[in-house]
Amino acid sequence: MIFGSVHDVVTDDLFLNLHGFHDRLRVLLKLEGLNPAGSVKLKTAVALVEDLEERGLLEEGSRLIESTSGNLGVALAMVCAAKGYRLTVVTDPNANAQSVRLMQVLGAELVIVRERDAGGGFLQTRIRCIERKLAEEPGLIWLDQYANRASVAAHAARTAHSIRISVGDPDYLFVGTGTAGTLMGCATYFGPPSRTKVVAVDSVGSVTFGQPAGPRHIPGLGSSREPRLFDEQQVHRTVSVPEESAVRVCRRLAADYGLLVGGSTGTVLAGVEQLAAELADHSTVVVISPDFGDRYLDTVYDDGWADRRLPGWRSEPAHPTPAHT
């Protein structure tokens, strides 16, 4: 197959059957990292940029800006390089070093904020940085992944549709919650009359599901403010996962399946484990894996990093963190 542009190379039909992950469930992992940007965020990046193009807001050399903790920045840098736009990425210390380097190599300008916001994260600080730059630089355009429904439409049309084409309507679909674009696209697509129950998964310390803010170390999921795209009424269930559990599941997949997955994937699979007792025997569970683990070798897969930041990761909890309805 021959493609006309690097950002057209999206593999949307690859699933791995995780035999034995749970003895009562059929768990299928939707592999989203097998594209040139290395993550599900390539679809988001294309949607955000092409939405501006369709509205006639871009021309060659246009200057774009976005806030991201990693994967979207890489995807946007790739899309902007291919289309001839200039990109500024505002990120923070939680972004892994490889993603930062990839953005730079692809031509993005990097701004790294280091002051935590009132919620304990960096999101509000990144947003304030963007607002200052917009005021200072006429012509700069903010893609605003946090409120732009183009990402929701893209994941309904592509991510969710590809699941139905390949698997049918699964009993459960577990999706990580960051900006909630992927989640809400899937929830919209698999709404009634579909039998699929969409479960939203997030990290402990994120405020998205109404829990207290707390420190988070693994990029990709979570927020220090409620995502504007998130609508809890459209999902069947929410569940919050400690980052220690995400690290354990990532290590388990590497040891048992020879598969390196990113921290978000570990979090969502840990969410399946937390809710497993409530799921009917022989249910088909699809889990969206946003990326692979090569960008997390110095974090999730590094014992020293995990020991310093998540000292409980080596011990299984006596009782699972309760799920939230």
Q: Which among 325, 10, 317 has a CA at the least distance from the CA of 154?
A: 10
Domain enclosing residue 75, as ranges: 41-142
Residue finishing a domain among 113, 142, 171: 142
DSSP H stretches of helix in 113-212: 123-136, 150-154, 161-167, 181-189
In order along its 325 residues, the chain shows pLDDT tens digits of 899 999 999 989 999 999 999 999 999 999 999 999 999 999 999 999 999 999 999 999 999 999 998 899 999 999 999 999 999 999 999 888 899 999 999 999 999 999 988 878 888 899 999 999 999 999 999 999 999 999 999 999 999 999 999 999 999 999 999 999 999 999 999 999 999 999 999 999 999 999 999 989 998 898 888 899 999 999 999 999 999 999 999 999 999 999 999 999 999 999 999 999 999 999 999 999 999 999 999 999 999 999 999 998 998 764 444 344 3
CATH of the domain at 228: 3.40.50.1100
Structural tokens at position 69? 């903790």
Backbone φ and ψ of 238, nearest 5°: -125, 150
CA-to-CA distance for 300 and 305, rounded, in angstroms? 7
Q: Whole-model pTM above 0.75?
A: yes
Q: What is the C-alpha R_g of the chain?
A: 19
CA distance 77 to 38: 12
- If asked whether residues 134 and 204 sit together in one domain, one would say no
Q: DSSP state, 300?
A: T
Per-residue pLDDT of 8-40, as tens digits, reads 999 899 999 999 999 999 999 999 999 999 999
Place of tokens 């999101």: 123
Domain final position from 111, 142, 173: 142
Q: How many domains does the chain have?
A: 2
Contact 158, 35 (CB under 8 A): no
180 and 292 in a single domain? The answer is: yes
Query: Cα–Cα distance between 91 and 26 in angstroms, integer?
Result: 37
Residues 277, 222, single domain; the answer is yes
179 in the same domain as 111: no
> Given this model, what pLDDT does residue 318 score?
46
Do residues 205 and 225 touch, judged by C-beta distance below 8 A? no
Per-residue pLDDT tens digits for 35-61 = 999 999 999 999 999 999 999 999 999
Q: Is 152 left (phi over 0), alpha (psi -120 to 50) or beta?
A: alpha
- Are 233 and 188 contacting, i.e. CB atoms less than 8 angstroms apart? no
Burial bucket for residue 195 (CB in 10 Å: 0-12, 13-18, 19+) = exposed
Could you tell me the sign of the dihedral formed by the alpha carbons of 38, 152, 324, 282, in that order? negative
The answer to whether residues 211 and 298 belong to one domain is: yes
Average pLDDT, the chain: 94
* Shared-domain flag, residues 114 and 178: no
